[in-house]
Amino acid sequence: MKLAVIGTGYVGLVSGTCFADLGNEVICVDKLEDKVERLNRYDIPIYEPGLEELVRKNHQRDRLSFTTDIHSAVHHADIVLIAVGTPETESGAADMSFVYKVAEEIGESIEDDKYRVIVNKSTVPVGTAEKVEDLIKKQQPNANINVCSVPEFLREGSAVKDTFHPDRIIIGASDKRAESMLLELHSPLTDQIVVTDPRSSEMIKYASNAFLATKISFINEIANICDAYDADIKAVAEGMGLDNRIGPKFLNAGIGYGGSCFPKDVKALKHLAEERNYQPDILQAVMDVNEKQSHRMVEHLDRIFDGDIKGMTVAILGLAFKPNTDDMREAPSVKIIHELTEKGASVRAVDPIAANNARTLLPEDVHIVEDALEAIKDADAAFLVTEWDEFKKITADDFKRLLKQPVVIDGRNVFDRDLFKENGIIYHGIGRK
Ligand SMILES: NC(=O)C1=CN([C@@H]2O[C@H](COP(=O)(O)OP(=O)(O)OC[C@H]3O[C@@H](n4cnc5c(N)ncnc54)[C@H](O)[C@@H]3O)[C@@H](O)[C@H]2O)C=CC1
Ligand SMILES: O=C(O)[C@H]1O[C@H](OP(=O)(O)OP(=O)(O)OC[C@H]2O[C@@H](n3ccc(=O)[nH]c3=O)[C@H](O)[C@@H]2O)[C@H](O)[C@@H](O)[C@@H]1O
């Protein structure tokens, strides 16, 4: 099939490349000339394991190309995927200006009566498929199109794997012909395909992200209660997760969820509810717990030093919002570092790949170093903020030898608490002192 993919962020670039790899002819469009130029040189603007080889392979086979010309891409396509950003606005609602602009541009690009399926892959409010259809038809009243919703569920850092092996595909189809084309496109990926209407499909995406965020805030709340009673959240989560109805995933307590999606999507869903005069109390609580959670590490440090942390040097291990990405959007590290510097501490930070993206978000006097052991050396305390594999390998002995004071605050509960304590380290995890 011939595909046009509009937007080459995580979703557009990864899904476009994967569909090309499955044998489709894919043109990826971005409005940013320098991004398109970089992509044509296989200089991939995001860090995503496996992506570069896949782009190179399919580009060289002439199945995948990059352009700024939306007009010719839409003209060529049987299916147009919209994958532009839907960031949050001040009110918490999704900013739909990029999607609406693309809809208008698609309308302007359609000049013939060929049948095309337009697909929203961006995470969008319920009712957007209808709005996009209206906008396209406003530009081109005779456009022979159906607008559908196929939300994306990939995770950053494992985007290629998630796209080739999805748990499920949701197709929100507005018409039988569109449904069968989308089934044909997606059937090589999985048998687990749910076909529904566009509105339900749009809601499935928000509800899924909100549910995962709820699981995280729930376990963080239990961790905070564990803290107060000297129970161990790791044991608690393991015990809970063995119940099939609960499941073990997304029960890692820590410093709250970040990233480009959970924070904005929970807010956007809340906003959607309030627009229809429904007060979503659970979503509000999820956000409130998450907001508080990023302060836990500094609270632990304060507890150890009776609030007197002025003049200390704290080593920050990890800046990205999670491992295997250089994405700094809503990364808890930013809040933690600002809190430390506001309290008069100095910060020495390290991250394998996110340091460049982090620089402008951090106070100027934060010292970013290349190596974890260099960050720790002579610091008064170390904070494990992002659980990169290379940080997990730091031993109790390394901390003991290099830190000025053997204080380790483990924001992701990855170190062996008992071993660290046996080695004389003052170890605090989240919900496991
Ligand atoms: N990042 C992720 O892991 C996931 C994101 N999503 C959703 O997918 C959507 C896209 O997210 P990302 O890929 O992270 O976006 P992004 O913000 O990283 O990239 C969007 C791209 O679209 C381009 N663009 C904007 N307007 C354009 C136009 N008129 N014509 C051509 N290109 C245009 C931008 O230049 C940019 O390169 C969002 O709604 C997001 O919530 C869904 C699942 C996973
Ligand atoms: O809509 C999206 O953009 C995507 O959002 C998330 O993917 P992502 O943000 O890449 O990362 P996750 O692995 O889900 O982690 C999100 C945040 O939750 C935190 N988290 C995750 C799991 C956990 O047990 N505990 C926890 O604190 C992570 O540290 C991170 O800050 C979802 O997992 C994807 O399914 C979805 O497609």
Q: State percent of the chain over pLDDT 90.
A: 99
- CA 200, CA 188: separation in Å to the nearest integer? 23
By alpha-carbon position, which residue is closest to atom 13 of ligand 2?
Answer: 155
Q: Is 259 close to ligand 2, i.e. is its CB under 6 Å away? A: yes
Q: Which residues pair with 116 in a beta bridge?
A: 145
Q: Is 123 close to ligand 1, i.e. is its CB under 6 Å away? A: yes
H or E segment to which residue 108 belongs: helix 97-109
Q: Is 10 close to ligand 2, i.e. is its CB under 6 Å away? A: no
By alpha-carbon position, which residue is closest to atom 11 of ligand 1?
Answer: 85
Please give the pLDDT value at position 265: 98
pLDDT bracket for residue 195 (50, 70, 90): very high
Mutate to test the pocket of ligand 1, among 67, 74, 98 (most ligand atoms within 8 A of CB): 98
35 assigned ligand-binding residue: yes
Please give the pLDDT value at position 344: 97
pLDDT bracket for residue 76 (50, 70, 90): very high
Nearest ligand 1 atom to the CA of 261 is 41
State pLDDT tens for residues 20-38.
999 999 999 999 999 999 9
Please give the pLDDT value at position 392: 97
Fold of 2-196: Rossmann fold (3.40.50)
Q: Do 278 and 310 contact (CB within 8 A), yes or no?
A: no
Q: Which residues pair with 409 in a beta bridge?
A: 383, 428
Query: What distance separates the 2 farthest-apart alpha carbons in the chain?
Result: 75
Q: Is 155 close to ligand 2, i.e. is its CB under 6 Å away? A: yes
Mean pLDDT along residues 395-414: 97
68 assigned ligand-binding residue: no
By alpha-carbon position, which residue is closest to atom 12 of ligand 2?
Answer: 155
Nearest ligand 2 atom to the CA of 261 is 3
343 assigned ligand-binding residue: no
Q: Is 101 close to ligand 1, i.e. is its CB under 6 Å away? A: yes
- CA 255, CA 257: separation in Å to the nearest integer? 7
Q: Is the dihedral of CA 220, 168, 264, 325 positive or negative?
A: positive
3-state helix, strand, coil in the chain (%, to 5): 45, 15, 40
Domains 2-196 and 206-291 fall in the same CATH topology: no
Give the total residue count for the chain. 433
Superfamily of domain 206-291: N-(1-d-carboxylethyl)-l-norvaline Dehydrogenase; domain 2 (1.10.1040.10)
Please give the pLDDT value at position 411: 98
- Tell me the CA–centroid distance for residue 366 and ligand 1, in Å: 30
pLDDT bracket for residue 101 (50, 70, 90): very high
By alpha-carbon position, which residue is closest to atom 8 of ligand 1?
Answer: 122
Q: What is the DSSP letter of 93?
A: S
Q: Active-site residue 261, yes or no?
A: yes
Q: Which two tokens stand for residue 30?
A: 């971005």
- Tell me the CA–centroid distance for residue 181 and ligand 1, in Å: 23
Q: Is pLDDT at 433 greater than 90 in this prediction?
A: no
State pLDDT tens for residues 296-313.
999 999 999 999 999 999
251 assigned ligand-binding residue: yes
Q: Do 387 and 393 contact (CB within 8 A), yes or no?
A: no
Which of the residues 18, 148, 226, 261 is marked catalytic? Answer: 261
Fold of 294-428: Rossmann fold (3.40.50)
Mutate to test the pocket of ligand 2, among 214, 257, 326, 327 (most ligand atoms within 8 A of CB): 257
State pLDDT tens for residues 113-163.
999 999 999 999 999 999 999 999 999 999 999 999 999 999 999 999 999
- Minimum-distance ligand to the CA of 157? 2
Per-domain residue ranges of the chain = 2-196, 206-291, 294-428
- Minimum-distance ligand to the CA of 220? 2
State pLDDT tens for residues 337-386.
999 999 999 999 999 999 999 999 999 999 999 999 999 999 999 999 99
Query: Which of 23, 15, 136 lies closest to 70 in space, CA to CA?
Result: 136
Q: Is pLDDT at 227 greater than 90 in this prediction?
A: yes
Mutate to test the pocket of ligand 2, among 122, 208, 212, 291 (most ligand atoms within 8 A of CB): 212
Query: Backbone phi, then psi, for 365, in 5-degree steps?
Result: -80, 5
- How many CB atoms within 10 Å of residue 56? 14
**Average pLDDT over all residues of the chain:** 97
Q: Which two tokens stand for residue 101?
A: 């602009």
Q: Do 44 and 8 contact (CB within 8 A), yes or no?
A: no
- Tell me the CA–centroid distance for residue 200 and ligand 1, in Å: 21
- CA 375, CA 392: separation in Å to the nearest integer? 15
Please give the pLDDT value at position 174: 86
Please give the pLDDT value at position 219: 98
Please give the pLDDT value at position 84: 98
Q: Which two tokens stand for residue 205?
A: 């995406």
By alpha-carbon position, which residue is closest to atom 25 of ligand 2?
Answer: 252
Q: Is pLDDT at 223 greater than 90 in this prediction?
A: yes
- CA 405, CA 428: separation in Å to the nearest integer? 14
Q: Is 316 close to ligand 1, i.e. is its CB under 6 Å away? A: no
Mean pLDDT along residues 170-180: 96
By alpha-carbon position, which residue is closest to atom 32 of ligand 1?
Answer: 30
- CA 284, CA 52: separation in Å to the nearest integer? 39
Q: Is pLDDT at 388 greater than 90 in this prediction?
A: yes
